[in-house]
Structure 1
Amino acid sequence: MSGARAAGRGRDLAALPKAHLHLHFTGSMRHTTLVELADRHGVALPDALRSAWPPRLSAADERGWFRFQRLYDTARSVLRTEDDVRRLVREAAEDERAEGSGWLELQVDPSGYAARFGGITAFTDLVLDAAAQASAATGVGTALVVAANRTRHPLDARTLARLAARYAGRGVVGFGLSNDERRGRTEDFAPAFAIARRAGLLSDPHGGELLGAASARAVLEQLGAQRLGHGVRAVEDPALLERIAARGVVLEVCPASNVALGVWPTPADVPLRTLRRAGVEVALGADDPLLFGARLVDQYVLAREHHGLDDAALADLARSSVTGSCAPSDVRERLLAGIDAWLAAPAPAPGPEPAPERGPARRG
């Protein structure tokens, strides 16, 4: 996809100022970096992460999700030293700068790296220091969303929430819940989110992707979601969609990963226009570019090429990413002014109409 990433019928999408709100830590790694670090540290990579990259994935059943998670765990295992971590964060910020992103909220579960880096606190310190260095070097503000894992015990989530709370205002801006949403009971994680909210952190769980609208409703009601990772299946419940719009909950929609994981059959089926017609704020995200082969600008290309969104609509998506972020006010103002300037520039002629949207590939 990346060959025509910023090309097309309208303005240069890599020049559109934006924020990136849905990017996972290991999943942000460049493929070239993955291969280089694997070779350096003697990590055997499967063909799906080397010669046959990007892998063919599906999460329509638990076996498919297990394969996805196994590939992710293999990729995570190449991070062996502090320099590896700093490189990943620096390169993520460099990639964001190249794609017009001026603010990045990187989602990370410190417990997945604790054993190798001296515990969850030491690892969080390392990533925050790396983020500060990357921000200074690139000009891209970089903050963390600490995320608990649905497949682990809810008490582990409380531990992570207390960790995140300690760093509130010092580089950690939110608390999330990720991994297979078919696992664990949402209500069991409510105490962890209460800890995070009391510390002033944004509530940013995943939901409404692998399962239907009920999953999105659960994280809204039980976890107090202020932003929602994915949430695309909320279109199956018009009343819920209306509620999301009324509450101003921003959906972090990741079109390329939705298709790769089998949530929707093709890019044209991801319900971007349905969400916009319902008045829902949408911020496009890349999720895990390392596994899906598509970075942030690619998501805007999909919106343009498969949904027929013109530059004004794409600018609206970029605005939602900024206003839905935890960026400081001066960063928001700068990015919003840049979006206005981008839209005021001359534009090429528009192209053909998109294909109609269809339903999801399957129901959870």
Structure 2
Amino acid sequence: MRDPRDHDEESLHRIKALPKVELHLHIEGAAPPAFIRGLAQEKKVRLDGVFAEDGTYEYRDFVHFLQTYEAATSVLRSPEDYARLTRAVLEECAQNGVIYAETFISPDFCGGGDLGAWREYLHAMQEAADAAERDMGITLRGIVTCVRHFGPEVAKKSALCAAETAGEWITGFGMGGDENKGEQRDFAYSFDMAREAGLRLTTHAGEWRGPQEVRNAIEHLGVERIGHGVRAIEDLALVDLIAEKGITLEVCPGSNVQLGVYPKLSAHPIQKLRARGAKVTISTDDPPFFHSTMVQEYENLARTFGWEEEDFTEIAKTSANAAFCSADTREALLKRLESA
């Protein structure tokens, strides 16, 4: 680690060029705005209030962001749409040096929770991912997510879809949505169903609610990863528990700053969490919504905290070891990171 002022353009170039592993990426939230606009025009759908004058996504706050997200998602209506989306997202990821990604996929948006329809959507996305791996060298795995603000009963349908399609490509189960709706324990049945199917578990916690929400996720859902989890820094005993249990935090610094969880990157606790022994990873969350890419995340962290190539390589290896993938895939990832 160096003084951030000591980073020259050559060292930043090397850092930005490093191979990257991303564990926290919402597939609809990663849709390039031009892709959604084009799809809306094809289908003759009006998307009022979704885009700003400059063509980017527009929202006022977190709740409005969720509404914009769901409005943009409304034009994705078929397995073919999701296949095209998968390709577009992976092209963006690959351009940013991502060699492995995991994406959150919700049956609520892919067939309305119907298992038969879900299988069709899943097949289309997996075919697109396989083609991208062949053409671009990027590997994708899917994490089925229930949507918290849709409620526990709807979540059970998502968990059933996840359990029935668990395997080499669908490897995890999690929960996203509005953290201020309901409690983690309300979704224990769905997480138990996914666990029994052999799926690995993660959930969003500690982004909007405080450290107790992270503790609840660990105690009530038994997850091995936490989406965000940054508010844990407000309870150092909890951070120590996270480190002791080896729980990995899917940290999305740019997202947290853009949505106002922290006023600026220098106030973000990622460095303090890491120094305390917590396993931290780096992701973009919903990159075009938050005007971010993995390259920009790396550059901003290097400039702000003085991280060097070794720091980012270590974090990428942490991500690979925490990935919800097979041992063979993990070994191949680690070899690629080591060779770089």
Equivalences, count: 332
CA distance change for structure 1 residues 47 and 195 in 2, over 3 Å: closer, same or farther?
A: closer
CA distance change for structure 1 residues 219 and 178 in 2, over 3 Å: closer, same or farther?
A: same
Aligned partner of 1:355 in structure 2 is: none
1:309 partner SS: coil
Find the aligned partners of 1:102 and 1:110 in 2 and give their Cα distance. Answer: 25
Contact 2:79 2:120 in 1 (8 A): no
Aligned partner of 2:265 in structure 1 is: 267
**Cα offsets for 1:175-220 (capped at 9, x unmatched):** 0011111101211101111111111111111000011111111111
1:290 partner SS: coil
Task: State the 1:28 CA deviation.
Answer: 1.3
Task: State the 1:47 CA deviation.
Answer: 5.8
Contact 2:113 2:161 in 1 (8 A): no
Task: State the 1:238 CA deviation.
Answer: 0.4
1:22 partner SS: strand
Task: State the 1:116 CA deviation.
Answer: 11
Is 2:45 the counterpart of 1:19? no
Contact 1:103 1:327 in 2 (8 A): no
CA distance change for structure 1 residues 53 and 272 in 2, over 3 Å: closer, same or farther?
A: farther
Find the aligned partners of 2:136 and 2:287 in 1 and give their Cα distance. Answer: 20
Find the aligned partners of 1:276 and 1:227 in 2 and give their Cα distance. Answer: 15
Counterpart amino acid of 1:26? E
What is the TM-score with the length of structure 2 in the denominator?
A: 0.90
- Of residues 297, 300, 303, the one that matches 1:302 is 300
Find the aligned partners of 1:192 and 1:8 in 2 and give their Cα distance. Answer: 48
Find the aligned partners of 1:71 and 1:276 in 2 and give their Cα distance. Answer: 33
- Of residues 103, 106, 110, the one that matches 1:106 is 103
Counterpart amino acid of 1:37? L
Aligned partner of 2:222 in structure 1 is: 224
Is 2:9 the counterpart of 1:36? no
Find the aligned partners of 1:80 and 1:194 in 2 and give their Cα distance. Answer: 30
Q: Structure 1 regions of 5+ residues with no counterpart? A: 1-6, 59-63, 343-364
CA distance change for structure 1 residues 116 and 192 in 2, over 3 Å: closer, same or farther?
A: closer
2:47 partner SS: coil
Q: Structure 2 regions of 5+ residues with no counterpart? A: 1-8
Aligned partner of 1:348 in structure 2 is: none
Task: State the 1:252 CA deviation.
Answer: 0.5
RMSD: 2.3
**Cα offsets for 1:290-331 (capped at 9, x unmatched):** 311212222212211112212211111111111111233343
**Cα offsets for 1:87-132 (capped at 9, x unmatched):** 1101222222222222111101111232599743433333333333
2:29 partner SS: helix
Aligned partner of 2:325 in structure 1 is: 327
Task: State the 1:138 CA deviation.
Answer: 2.4
**Cα offsets for 1:48-99 (capped at 9, x unmatched):** 52524545655xxxxx333111210121122234432211101222222222
Task: State the 1:266 CA deviation.
Answer: 0.6
Is 2:96 the counterpart of 1:94? no
Greater CA drift, 161-170 or 217-226: 161-170
Find the aligned partners of 1:144 and 1:338 in 2 and give their Cα distance. Answer: 21
Contact 1:110 1:124 in 2 (8 A): no
Counterpart amino acid of 1:129? E
Task: State the 1:11 CA deviation.
Answer: 4.5
- Of residues 252, 255, 270, the one that matches 1:254 is 252
**What does 1:348-359 correspond to in 2, within 5 Å?**
none
Aligned partner of 2:159 in structure 1 is: 161
Aligned partner of 1:180 in structure 2 is: 178
What is the TM-score with the length of structure 1 in the denominator?
A: 0.84
Aligned partner of 2:68 in structure 1 is: 71
